[in-house]
Structure formats: C-alpha cells, structure tokens
Structure 1
Amino acid sequence: MNFKIAAAALLLSGAAIVPAFAAPRLIPDRDAMGVYQVTQPGKPTQTWRVRYQASSRMLRAVSLSGQATGVTVLLDLAAGSADIVVPQMHAIVAVPGLSGVIHKALDQNGAHFTRLGDATIAGHQCTRYLILKRKGDGSACITRSGIVLAATGKDSKGSAQVTALQIAEAPQPPEDFQLPQGYSNINLPPQMLAQLLGG
C-alpha cells in the first residue's frame, strides 16, 4: 500500500473551504469526525475513522479494517510531525517523510480549482471541484460547512480515493490526540511499515 498517498487523501477528507469561487482551505476550521473508505488500485479496501481538533491542528486516523485494525496515525500539523501508534507492538513509529507529503498536499501554489457541480454523499450535499497541480491532480466534494465527503488524488507514485461513509461536526476530546504512555519508540523499514498498515 502506498500509505503516504492514502494519508494525504485522508487529510483532505477533513478539509475546510472558504466562500465559493475562492481556493479551498485545506486545514479545517472546526472539530469534526468522519468514517471514510480508502481504495487504491490492486489493494484491499480500508476503512478509517478520522478525527480533527481545530484548536491544536491535530488529526487522528484509526484503521477499522483488516490486519491494520487499531493502528492509529497522529498528525500534528502545527509541529509538522507524524507518528503511527501500533497497539499490537505496543510501539510508536515516527514517520518524518509522511509530514512532508502532507505539507505538499496542502501547498496550493500552482493549483487550479474548477467547480464541477453538486452531489450528495453520505446524506450530505457537497460541491465537486477538479484540482490540477503540476505533479498530480485530483478532485474533492465539499459541503457548505467545509467537510470533504470525497477526494481522489494521483501522481507518479500511484492513486487513492477516499469516500465518506459517516460525518459529524462536534467537539473532539483532547486526550484522543495524545500519544499513549508506556509505548516504545521504534524505527521500522518502509516495507515492514507497509505490511503493518495492510499493504
């Protein structure tokens, strides 16, 4: 599994947008929770619960399916750090490269947004946008309140599609965005990390 592509798409699934005809903001301005399905060509479909806390700019994604069930990704957008919590190993794995991928996904320099129309996903109405960038392209369907209900992205390394199954805007508990105590900090080769994540 190309986890970095999937993680970038998951981040987009919590995105907020400014008024119509302006470029989308790719950082949420309110707390939210969603359950999303992630698909990639040739890979098993995965389901993730994504939470975002606006005050700390923290994103938490927990795998709900397959051998990666329970694995948690914590992204600190303010600090630019990324950690993966692996309960099966009672371990925390720092992933510096993932943070860089996220920042590239948030970079709007040279991006072109085209409004495509409206859709209904997971019982919510959203506006569809085509997103074109020099090194990749994608699309997103965004509600008036700023929640992305679907997103796709592709570049030279692969592609991923994210679709919301459930969405709720509500305050998120601060403790959900803290690394667990008593876990070991370890490093893993990319291949082993991909296997843990269901790749």
Structure 2
Amino acid sequence: MVSSTGTSSKSAAARQRLLAAALEAFAAKGFNATTTRDIANGAKMSSAAVYVHFRSKEELLFELSEAGHRRILDVIDDVDDASAPPAARLRAVISAFTGHHAREHVGGRVVNYELAALAPEHLDTVMELRREITRRVRAIVDAGIAAGDFDVADAQATTNAMLSMGIDVARWYRPEKGLSPEEMGRFYADLATRMVGVRDR
C-alpha cells in the first residue's frame, strides 16, 4: 500500500518536473510556440501527465509567473534595512534585484515577457505583485527625497526606469560573457544611485 504522504510527494515532484520543463520550453520557444508535448518531453513524462497536474498550459505559466514575482519580493525583503540611509537601501535593493535577474535569467525572461499570455484573472494577480515590487522601491526613492539625499525630478518615472533596466538584464544576460550576477548587481546599483543624484564621495 502506498501512503497518502508518498502519493502526495510523488505528485509534488511530478509538478515540479513539469514546471521546470515548462520554464525551459517557454524561455526557448516562447509561450505560444510551446506545446504541451514539448513540456511533457522535457519532463520525460507522457503528454497526458500535463493534464493530470495542470488544467492548461496557461496554468503552468501562471504558477511560474506568480512564484517568480513572489521570489523577487523575498529578494527585496532579504536585503532592505528600513533603518539604513536611503542611498544604502537603494544600492542593496537594486544590486539584489539585478543580480537575481542575471542569475535567474531563464526564468526572468518567462515571468516578465510572457505576461500577455496570462488569463485576465491570472494577469491581475501578477500585476498586483508587480505593483507591490514597484511600491517598495518607490518608498526608498521617496525616503531619499524626503531626507534631502536624492535629487529626483519624477519619483515614479525614476523608480520605473530603475526596475525596467534591472528586469531587462534577464533578456540578454548570458553567464559565460561579461560580468557575474554579483558584479552586474553592483554595476546597476551604481547606475541607480547616479540616477537619484548620489555620487560616490
């Protein structure tokens, strides 16, 4: 007899295999060009197995997108110290944010550039997570302005620009060329502090 715990564990493992295969396939071919057979083959499972664990190809994309954006919020929370000076907070957050998109560039391409393929209710969920990411970085920019440390003409536009340049790293970054993820993070943190009028002393 197979215990319910054992069955649940096998089901969770199968879901993870399918999610990993979907991530690779979506990154390589795009959501629309990827078939459920591509995903099943990547997971070394039957095509029918996809529908045992997921209702649709779109549901796979949604789970990847939601988890990816929640991970970014965790990355921000892990490094942001609200008691630190705004410039130090901004450097820490943009460095971690950019480094994450370099390190997880395959997933980053999927969760950021396949949003149009999500069902409306799923898109709403992911967009709220994106707005929360923006709110957290905007709060740092606002704190720097209030403290007189940042010289910014438009706080929202500046926030959007910093986040956009960090996200875009996932589109073109390749680990075998150029800077490491950590070096990319530091480089973009330097750019971000210059964008808000902070200069190294």
TM-score by length of 1: 0.24
User: Structure 2 length normalisation: TM-score?
Assistant: 0.24
More strand by share: 1
Q: Which has the larger radius of gyration?
A: 2
* Greater share of helix: 2
